[in-house]
Amino acid sequence: MSENQCAAFCVTHGDRCCEITYINSTKECKLDQSGCCHTDFVNASGSNILHPRRTYVDYNKILSVTNGGCLGDWANEEFCKKGHYAIGYRMKIEGLHFDRTELNAIEIICGSTSGERCGDTAISGQQQWGTWTVEALCPAKTFFTAFSLQVDQYNTYHDNTGANYVRFRCRYFKDEYFDFELSVSPGNGTFGFYGEWSDACPANSAICGVKTKIQAYQVYGDDTALNDVQFFCCE
pLDDT of 15 reads: 45
Domains of the chain (ranges, CATH numbers): 3-45 (no CATH), 56-234 (2.100.10.20)
Integer angstrom CA distances of residue 190 from 24, 160, 200, 222: 57, 12, 26, 17
Question: Residue 200 in contact with residue 171, Cβ under 8 Å?
Answer: yes
Cα–Cα distance measured from residue 168 to residue 158, given in angstroms and rounded to the nearest whole number: 28
pLDDT of 48 reads: 39
Cα–Cα distance measured from residue 27 to residue 85, given in angstroms and rounded to the nearest whole number: 28
How many Å separate Cα 197 from the centre of its chain? 17
Spans of the chain below 70 pLDDT: 1-57
pLDDT of 228 reads: 98
User: In the 3-class helix/strand/coil scheme, how is 123-140 assigned residue by residue?
Assistant: ECCCCCCCEECCCEECCC
Q: Return the ∠ at Cα 173 (arms to 187 and 41), rounded to 5°.
A: 95
Nearest to 50 by CA among 78, 76, 37, 31: 31
Strands (E) located in 42-84: 61-63, 73-74, 78-79
Q: Give the tens place of pLDDT for each residue, 46-69.
A: 443 434 456 666 899 999 999 999
Q: Give the tens place of pLDDT for each residue, 192-221.
A: 999 999 999 999 999 999 999 999 999 888
Strands (E) located in 76-220: 78-79, 85-94, 102-111, 117-123, 131-132, 136-137, 142-152, 162-172, 180-182, 193-194, 206-214
pLDDT of 42 reads: 54
